[in-house]
Amino acid sequence: MAQADVAEPTKLGRRRDPARDEVILEAALDELVESGYEGMTIDMVAARAKAGKATVYRRWPSKADLVIDAVACMKRRNLDPDDLPDTGTLRGDLIAMIKPPTIRDSERKLALMAGIASMLVRNPELADTARAALIEPRAAINRVLFQRAIDRGEISSSVDIEQLSIIGPALAAYRTLVLHQPVDREFLIANIDQVILPAAGLGVRS
């Protein structure tokens, strides 16, 4: 979608190093997380990547294209929904997803979403990319967990999996971005026990 590239030449010369792409995209992501779309400058991205500004523009035609590629490359970091630990219970599976690396990754994603939020309305391609790279992978994991619970007869097959899959991400995003409070283990467990499981029909009567 971005890379301005060319037909294979017949001969000669030093080749463009694809590894630099990764470094630059990573620098762009750091800038987006720290400063947001409008706060990020190409000069700062280049400096952080120890690259020249011209090198950046040799690889992406504009700032918008660089940002789209940077957001898109977050997709590779997600774990495979077909390869999740199975604890035997829905609650166990949900709790098993709470790990410090996962929380940190989630915080980074949310800061990134906040940084590009005002662009999402005006740049549909960026909006689609962000959903595909940041939102959908986590929802896919939740869908698998809830489908398992249905398959093993733990919860009713009439629940709305799509709705259930979204509760956790929505509460975490709201707490971080709007309330500006930390998303820690305690908060996540409270969400599971007091909101998600009751919504799945596994109420723990008090």
Binding site for its own copies (CB under 8 A): 36-39, 111, 113-118, 120-122, 127, 131, 135, 156, 158-160, 163, 166-167, 169-171, 173-175, 177-180, 190-191, 194-195, 198-199, 201, 203, 205-206
Q: Which does 181 bind (CB under 5 to 8 A by kind): its own copies, DNA, none?
A: none
Q: Which is nearer to DNA, 51 or 171 (CB)?
A: 51
Should residue 76 be labelled a site residue for DNA when binding is judged by CB under 7 A?
no
Write down the least CB distance from residue 178 to its own copies, Å.
Answer: 6
198 binds, among DNA, its own copies, none (CB under 5 to 8 A by kind): its own copies
Q: In this structure, what DSSP letter does residue 154 have?
A: S
Residue 62 makes contact with DNA by CB under 7 A = yes
List 22, 34, 50, 160, residue binding DNA (CB under 7 A): 50
| Residue closer to its own copies (CB basis): 39 or 52 | 39
The residue among 1 and 121 lying less far from its own copies, judged by its C-beta, is 121
| Distance in angstroms (rounded) separating the CA atoms of residues 176 and 174 | 6
143, 168 contact by CB (below 8 A): no
Own/partner long-range contacts of 151-158 (Cβ < 8 Å, ≥24 apart):
152/88, 154/89, 154/90, 154/202, 155/90, 155/200, 155/201, 155/202, 156/201
Residue 121 binds which entry of its own copies, DNA, none, with Cβ cut-offs from 5 to 8 Å by kind?
its own copies
Q: Which two tokens stand for residue 194?
A: 């007091």
> What are φ and ψ of residue 66, in 5° steps?
-60, -45
Do the Cβ atoms of 4 and 69 come closer than 8 Å?
A: no
17 scored as a contact of DNA (CB under 7 A): yes
Which amino acid appears at position 75 of this protein? Answer: K
* 118 scored as a contact of DNA (CB under 7 A): no
Measure the CA–CA gap between 133 and 152, rounded to whole angstroms. 30
| Residue 10 DSSP symbol | S
196, 164 contact by CB (below 8 A):
yes
Binding site residues, DNA, CB under 7 A: 9, 11-17, 20, 40-43, 46-47, 49-55, 57-59, 61-64
